[in-house]
Amino acid sequence: MIIVVYVNSKARDQRFYLETLLSNDLVPSFDSRILVVGAYEAGKTTLVSNLIGKSIPRERQSTDGIDVYFGKLLFDIKTQKLLKKTKGVHSFPKAIYQKILSYIKSVETEDGTIRKTQCDVPNDDVLQKLSDKINEYADDDSKDRFCDQKVIPIPVLDFAGQIVYHATHQTFITSHGIYIITFNGSKELDDPLSDRKDESKTTIIENIRQWVSSILLYSHPDNKNYPRLMFVATHRDLVCQEYVSEKRSKLLSSLSGCFTDENIRSHLMLHKLFFVNALSENDPEMEELSECISKTITKNPQWGQRVPRQFLILEMMFAALVEEGKTNNQS
């Protein structure tokens, strides 16, 4: 039998609750991700920055490959709304610790009976290390305004629009994601993507079609509605105010007319086209977009899917390994 000397009561508590996760009991698991795709210069990075509350870039910088934001966008289980976590350092491990901490908070409210079914996995040292990490994170987190809420981090992936990156993008495509297909709404859908004479004459609508096909091909949908694909037009501010409504209807009907196959349409959210000024932090349509994403997240059949409780411990072990890898690389 291993006797552990607890440093303080708070540390003991976290450790106690972590132990309650060492069970085969099935519990709901909350996972989702938002993938922002579209052509080169469509406004993806600007849109993502706006959505997650990161400062909106004023100087154009093309995305190199893919940018992944972990722990910046949070989903509040109680209010079912997305929250922006602008403070603190964000990373994959921290996002996982955030999730486990939220989970532990919900365990605290249960009856507290420990049903440990596999006490040798992970071993005691590993469990102590994970407990220390959670404590460390909880200390940082206690200064945060979200520390008392049960929140799930939602990763946001910002894809590069350049054709050269398309081959690697497939790796990130999954059936339980929400895809935001972005394009410049100040242009016509039949306009070429680029004004440069030396570039290919692919049109905006052709690029949208390519994204829809790739997502549905590589995500291997096993559900008739998921993944969900929504459309967001940017650059609304470049369209004359009185013409915005007409332009929106025109874009939406052209988009709708492009996809007639019912198997494809069932994945597309064609009831509304968000037409945003991605440069504006106070654009009401950005708020609407965020609300629509929140609703879509919870309708995903994998949201709340039941998994053994100890999967959370496994996830945290991966996060700790990633963090250690980073520390070792830095030293």
Ligand X SMILES: Nc1nc2c(ncn2[C@@H]2O[C@H](COP(=O)(O)OP(=O)(O)OP(=O)(O)O)[C@@H](O)[C@H]2O)c(=O)[nH]1
Residue type for 148, please? Answer: D
Q: Is 100 in the site for ligand X (CB under 6 A)?
A: no
Give the C-alpha separation, 167 to 19, whole Å: 42
Binding segment for ligand X (CB under 6 A), chosen from 2-10, 37-45, 69-77, 203-211, is 37-45
From Mg ion, ligand X, none, interface partner of 71 (C-beta below 5 to 8 A by class): none
Is 22 a binder of ligand X (CB under 6 A)?
no
DSSP 57: P
Element (H, E) at 181: strand 177-184
At 83, give phi and psi (nearest 5°): -125, 150
Interface pick for ligand X out of 133, 169, 176, 235 (rule CB under 6 A): 235
User: At 229, which amino acid appears?
Assistant: L
Cβ-based neighbour number of residue 59 at 10 Å: 4
Q: Which of 73, 278, 286, 289 binds ligand X (CB under 6 A)?
A: 278
Distances (CA, A) of 32 to 63, 66, 298, 329: 23, 18, 9, 29
- Residue 112 has φ and ψ, to the nearest 5°, of 80, 5
With tokens 């349409």, the residue in question is 265
CB of 92 to ligand X, least distance (A): 21
Q: Tell me if 277 contacts ligand X by CB under 6 A.
A: yes
Near ligand X in 207-226, by CB under 6 A = none
Q: Round to whole Å and give the CA distance between 176 and 160.
A: 21
Establish if 237 lies at the interface with ligand X (CB under 6 A).
yes
> Encoding tokens for residue 2?
């291993």
- The region of 42-50, 71-79, 86-94, 134-142 touching ligand X under the rule CB under 6 A is 42-50
50 near ligand X, rule: CB under 6 A: no
Total count of residues recorded for the chain: 331
Q: Is 267 in the site for ligand X (CB under 6 A)?
A: no
Q: Does 25 bind ligand X (CB under 6 A)?
A: no
Q: Which residue is nearest to ligand X (CB)?
A: 161
- Whether residue 161 contacts residue 38, with contact meaning beta carbons closer than 8 Å, is answered with yes
Tell me the sheet residues that pair with 234: 184
Q: Does 160 interact with ligand X (rule: CB under 6 A)?
A: yes
Q: How many residues bind ligand X (CB under 6 A)?
A: 21
User: Least Å distance between CB 166 and Mg ion?
Assistant: 14
Residue 178 binding: pick among Mg ion, ligand X, none (C-beta 5-8 Å cut-off by kind): none
Q: Which amino acid is at 310?
A: Q
Tokens for 243, please give them.
Answer: 């013409």
- Whichever of 20 and 45 has its CB closer to ligand X, that residue is 45
The reply to whether 41 sits near ligand X by the rule CB under 6 A is yes
Say whether residue 238 binds ligand X (CB under 6 A).
yes
Cβ proximity to ligand X: between 133 and 236 the closer is: 236
Interface with ligand X (CB under 6 A): 38, 40-46, 60, 62-63, 160-161, 234-235, 237-238, 276-279
